[in-house]
Structure 1
């Protein structure tokens, strides 16, 4: 019976986190009272699950990292077609933006050592893919893999933000990220001419 109760409590907590995510996307500075109200619970109930807004943001940060990690792990790396990995990854990550991008602006999440370590662990396989693509001549070897990875991350977060603000259509977001990442802003004819 106790196991069922904890499963029920976990399901309720996940529902609270889902509600908090929806609200925080629209209002990143929402208070605990606003989050509780949006979730349809009282503030005392919310505090039984999380003691502070900072703790809530950390839970959301861990949840986002897990969501991205699960997505990354679902994309197989075919060594023979490794150049397809990044496009497949971006296609899979774009739909997650509304659950993640707002966390990039929260100081609690941004400065948390544990979350930083979890994110670094998440980034390591991506760094290895980039290094493999550099070895195969797909990316310049004169540019550090860290720079390439950080550029890709920045493009992804900025695209999520632009989709949220209505400046970029969600359907075209992945293509925009990939075109910008691979080709920058130079006109295609000029690229072929050199």
Structure 2
């Protein structure tokens, strides 16, 4: 391997180590310092800043990684199987499990990124929600009296509010998935299907 090839391989290893360490550090402590992330990654601060010039840049890359990991987990849920209501119930529980693990990461992101930027990182997950809601509307299970983008926003907002409530101690972690599922389905279900 050429010297340039070795440098590129070293840089790639450093980037991976930094992203892995940052994901772990931010997930444990939302205000983790760049110094502590560099130490956890086994690189110098200079190396960290060479690849990620700001905390915002690093958080953006970490969010990309977290969302990609989430997409893999959600894809394993076979969201095309069963009714849209059944699939959405599975999605809510999986999404909650993922978000619960990344709650502090979202706190860190919210401190430096705008709400619009944070939501943008969720696009890959929200596309799955949008498809499920569209299928549920076609099946007659989900509301058609409200705009579909609003229903997606309801899902997104409720799952993040649940994380905030758990973090504030107003909702028990062990109850959150059940509460979230009941609330989201209650908000999305067509009035004609409630009580069937």
Shared fold, TM over 0.5: yes
What are structure 1's unaligned runs of at least 5 residues? 185-190
Matched-pair contact (CA < 8 Å) for 1:90–1:174: yes
* 1:52 Cα deviation from its structure 2 partner: 1.9
What corresponds to 1:188 in structure 2? Answer: none
Segment of structure 1 superposing worse, 144-153 or 78-87: 78-87
What are structure 2's unaligned runs of at least 5 residues? 188-193
Identify the match of residue 102 of structure 1 among 102, 107, 132.
107
Provide the rounded CA distance (Å) in 1 between the counterparts of 2:43 and 2:73: 31
What corresponds to 1:76 in structure 2? Answer: 78
Provide the rounded CA distance (Å) in 2 between the counterparts of 1:104 and 1:64: 12
Matches for 1:24-103 after TM superposition, within 5 Å: 24-39=26-41, 41-78=43-80, 80-97=82-99, 98-99=101-102, 100-102=105-107
Provide the rounded CA distance (Å) in 1 between the counterparts of 2:158 and 2:167: 14
Matched-pair contact (CA < 8 Å) for 1:25–1:102: no
Q: RMSD between aligned alpha carbons?
A: 3.2
How many residues matched?
184
Taking structure 1 as the reference length, the TM-score comes to 0.74
Segment of structure 1 superposing worse, 163-172 or 84-93: 163-172
Provide the rounded CA distance (Å) in 2 between the counterparts of 1:16 and 1:161: 27
Matched-pair contact (CA < 8 Å) for 1:163–1:169: yes
Q: Which string of whole-angstrom CA distances, capped at 9 and with x for unpartnered residues, describes residues 26-50 of structure 1?
A: 5434432243245454312322432
Provide the rounded CA distance (Å) in 2 between the counterparts of 1:5 and 1:167: 50
1:165–1:25 CA distance, 2 compared to 1 (3 A): farther
